[in-house]
Amino acid sequence: MGELLLGKEVDYDAPYNPGLLCAIPRALGRAELGIDAAALPFFGCDIWNAYELSWLDAAGKPIVAIAELRIPVDSACLVESKSLKLYLNSLNQHRFTSAAAVCAALESDLGACVGSAVAVELYLPDRWAQFEARVPPGTCLDDLPLAIDRYTPAPELLTAAPDVIVSRCWFSRLLRSRCPVTGQPDWGTVVVEYEGPEIDAAALLSYIVSFRQHQEFHEHCVERMFIDISRHCRPHLLTVYARYLRRGGLDINPYRSSAAAAPQNIRFFQQ
């Protein structure tokens, strides 16, 4: 779909060009986890928010909007973030007859890139109030006392009491991973909704912190968390929802759940 552009100099004033989009096969990250594309162990999607979207109307006047992009978890590929930024920038000097025409172009171009239907919703400024930041749901883990020296994923830290069944929702703002191409830090908040044998909360926090030096795409980090918690704690129900800070006007919010439900696009304060 295009050459990987991370870490390279590029032309940010290129004309409208869907060929800028670069697809990354999901199988590359899932093979290590033993995930079978034909029988995914989770439902979900990746929610992208594009805060720097702009185009020209038919008279040449600039229009600005926020785009919400939902890429389904069963798409063959994910889209590389810098290529998406450059693609969106290529719309800046392109004339569209309406916002609906922009939405149609985004759905068509992104769908061709990832190999699946992509849902796009555009928010013009009169609807921006709904992006007001909120506190994550559940109980914050971050004040728990912690001694840890593991900064690559350590699922063996996870422990659960099989005789105690609980329903919990936790969140942590201490998630940090790194871009697998540039090594830059990716900061995020992760929400874990859980029903099953009681997880030791400090152990869960230690596990989240252990991603601190791990180099992997956002989507694959969340899938790794889902698989590790599932294997080590045997939950009846599990949802892992990470919301990463924006970079280049884009934030990425992977959602993986054992239940088939559409996640809310709720912006947290760091975003």
pLDDT digit of tens for each residue in the chain (271 aa)? Answer: 445 555 556 556 679 999 999 999 999 999 999 999 999 999 999 999 999 999 999 999 999 999 999 999 999 999 999 999 999 999 999 999 999 999 999 999 999 999 999 999 999 999 999 899 999 999 999 999 999 999 999 999 999 999 999 999 999 999 999 999 899 999 999 999 999 999 999 999 999 999 999 999 999 999 999 999 999 999 999 999 999 999 999 999 999 999 999 999 999 988 8
Q: Looking at the domain assignment, is residue 235 inside a domain?
A: yes
Give the range of the structural domain holding residue 126, as residue numbers without chain letter. 18-131
Interacting residues of 94 by C-beta distance below 8 A, sequence separation 6+: 15, 16, 55, 56
> What is d(CA 18, CA 88) in angstroms, rounded to the nearest whole number?
9
Report pLDDT for 129: 93
| Dihedral sign of CA atoms 141, 143, 149, 151 in order | positive
Q: Are residues 105 and 168 in the same domain?
A: no
Is 27 part of a structural domain of the chain? yes
Domain final residue pick, 131, 161, 191 = 131
Are 113 and 184 in the same domain? no
Catalytic residue list: 179, 186
Predicted pLDDT of residue 4: 56
Q: In angstroms, rounded to a whole number, what is the distance separating the alpha carbons of residues 81 and 125?
A: 24
Number of domains in the chain: 2
CA distance 238 to 224: 13
Q: Answer for the pair 48, 88: CB distance below 8 angstroms, yes or no.
A: no
- pLDDT in the model for residue 1: 43
Using the 3D structure, point to which of 105, 131, 157 is the last residue of a domain.
131
Residue 9: predicted pLDDT: 60
Both 197 and 165 in one domain: the answer is yes
User: Domain containing 60 — which CATH number?
Assistant: 3.30.1130.10
Look at residues 112, 131, 150 and tell me which one is the last residue of a structural domain.
131
Query: How close are the terminal C-alpha atoms of the chain, in Å?
Result: 29
Sole residue written with tokens 């992208």: 48
